[in-house]
């Protein structure tokens, strides 16, 4: 979605161009009228062509402005609809989960083991749906949040995220290499969310390694643009399906292998695109993965 605050200068610039163009046509027309008869006709024809081309350019500028405004309004309507639907789904899901739990607690001893198992599966499914709704709302917020560009100490930001991951999983042994001195210009909250999703993925997909390794550093893409990366020695993925990694709800592993909703990488891609950058991944099955992204 094109940022409203970024489009406003574009509109102002288009109006300035239109005004200057009209002034230029008027001046050239006046000079044509005052010119010698031998050159008056060619000059007048040039003025007509200039005016026609300027008219076409003006129509195109206003057409684009109109289309962008409609796109902005449509995106806002879709986001509002998505939020409303997600909000309305929460109540019945909470009821299903709550009554299933009450039935297990009240009638659990009288129920057959298979019936208890079915109720537990119902609860697990409703809770998973709740997480999916939360992630959908989170993705929607990333798309419409106002951006504030600042200078970011990326190395320190990554260190904070890793400290939180260690605190939540003290039983894990994970070696994390964070390159010092990494900085970037971007929205601090969104950049943090991008790194958090990538690091949580690396943390998750290395969970079956007796000695997990994660590497966070700075490289360059094929055009020489600085590119951050988060690499690990975890489960990896089949490179044939690399293009599906960043789609919402796309998963290359089952939830029984690794939990999740398939929104994390879609969120990363949305954040990177809003910064004018691009994101890509490299990996092999059981050989780890590495995710790269630029910020414009």
Check pLDDT > 90 for residue 158.
Answer: yes
CA atoms within 13 A on the CB side of 101: 11
Q: Which two tokens stand for residue 78?
A: 């879709």
Query: Where residue 38 falls among pLDDT bands split at 50, 70, 90?
Result: low
Q: Give the span between the Cα atoms of 51 and 96, in whole angstroms.
A: 68
Q: Give the span between the Cα atoms of 184 and 188, in whole angstroms.
A: 9
Check pLDDT > 70 for residue 287.
Answer: yes
Q: Give the span between the Cα atoms of 226 and 292, in whole angstroms.
A: 10
Check pLDDT > 90 for residue 108.
Answer: no
Q: What is the pLDDT of residue 240?
A: 83
Q: What is the pLDDT of residue 2?
A: 36
Check pLDDT > 80 for residue 258.
Answer: no
Check pLDDT > 80 for residue 131.
Answer: no
Check pLDDT > 90 for residue 228.
Answer: yes
Check pLDDT > 60 for residue 39.
Answer: no
Query: Where residue 30 falls among pLDDT bands split at 50, 70, 90?
Result: low
Mean pLDDT of 277-287: 90
Residue 9 Cα to chain centre, angstroms:
24
| Closest of 16, 14, 19 to residue 61, by C-alpha | 14
Q: What is the pLDDT of residue 248?
A: 61
Q: What is the pLDDT of residue 249?
A: 54
Q: Give the span between the Cα atoms of 270 and 173, in whole angstroms.
A: 31
| Closest of 27, 25, 43 to residue 35, by C-alpha | 43
> For all residues of the chain together, what is the average pLDDT?
78
Residue 168 Cα to chain centre, angstroms:
26
Q: What is the pLDDT of residue 79?
A: 66
Write the DSSP symbol of residue 187. Answer: -
Cβ burial, residue 140 (10 Å; 0-12/13-18/19+): middle
More confident residue, 57 or 277: 277
Q: Give the span between the Cα atoms of 131 and 211, in whole angstroms.
A: 30
Q: Which two tokens stand for residue 199?
A: 């690091």
Instruction: Report pTM.
Output: 0.61
3-state secondary structure of 234: coil
Q: Helices 264-274 & 188-205, crossing angle to 10 degrees?
A: 150
Out of 53-67, 150-164, 205-219, least confident range: 53-67
Strand positions, DSSP E, the chain: 150-153, 174-178, 183-186, 212-220, 226-232, 279-283, 289-293
Check pLDDT > 80 for residue 155.
Answer: yes
Q: What is the pLDDT of residue 214?
A: 96
Residues near 6 by beta carbon (within 8 Å), at least 6 away in sequence: none
Q: Give the span between the Cα atoms of 155 and 230, in whole angstroms.
A: 12
Query: Where residue 279 falls among pLDDT bands split at 50, 70, 90?
Result: very high
Q: What is the pLDDT of residue 119?
A: 86
More confident residue, 12 or 55: 55
Q: What is the pLDDT of residue 192?
A: 92
Q: What is the pLDDT of residue 3?
A: 42
Q: What is the pLDDT of residue 73?
A: 66
Mean pLDDT of 254-262: 55
Q: Which residues pair with 128 in a beta bridge?
A: none
Q: What is the pLDDT of residue 133?
A: 74
């Amino acid at each position: 979605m094109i940022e409203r605050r970024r489009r406003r200068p574009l509109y102002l610039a288009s109006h300035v161009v239109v005004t200057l163009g009209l002034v230029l046509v008027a001046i050239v027309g006046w000079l044509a009228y005052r010119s010698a008869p031998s050159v008056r006709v060619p000059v007048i024809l040039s003025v007509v062509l200039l005016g026609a081309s300027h008219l076409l350019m003006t129509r195109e500028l206003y057409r684009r402005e109109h289309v962008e405004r409609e796109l902005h309004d449509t995106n806002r309507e879709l986001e509002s609809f998505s939020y409303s639907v997600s909000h309305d789904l929460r109540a019945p899901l909470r009821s299903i989960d709550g009554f299933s739990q009450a039935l297990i607690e009240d009638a659990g001893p009288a129920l057959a083991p298979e019936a208890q198992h079915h109720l537990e599966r119902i609860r697990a499914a409703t809770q998973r749906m709740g997480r999916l709704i939360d992630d959908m709302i989170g993705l929607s917020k990333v798309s419409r949040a106002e951006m504030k560009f600042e200078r970011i100490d990326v190395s320190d930001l990554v260190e904070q995220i890793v400290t939180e991951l260690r605190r939540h999983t003290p039983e894990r042994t994970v070696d994390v290499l964070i390159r010092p001195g990494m900085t970037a210009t971007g929205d601090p909250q969104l950049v943090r969310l991008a790194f958090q999703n990538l690091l949580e993925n690396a943390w998750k997909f290395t969970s079956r390694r007796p000695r997990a390794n994660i590497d966070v550093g700075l490289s360059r893409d094929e055009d020489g643009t600085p590119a951050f990366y988060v690499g690990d020695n975890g489960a990896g993925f089949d490179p044939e399906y690399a293009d599906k990694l960043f789609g919402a709800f796309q998963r290359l592993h089952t939830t029984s292998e690794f939990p999740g909703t398939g929104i994390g990488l879609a969120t990363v891609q949305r954040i990177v695109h809003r910064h004018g950058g691009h994101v890509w991944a490299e990996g092999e099955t059981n050989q780890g993965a590495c995710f790269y992204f630029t910020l414009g």
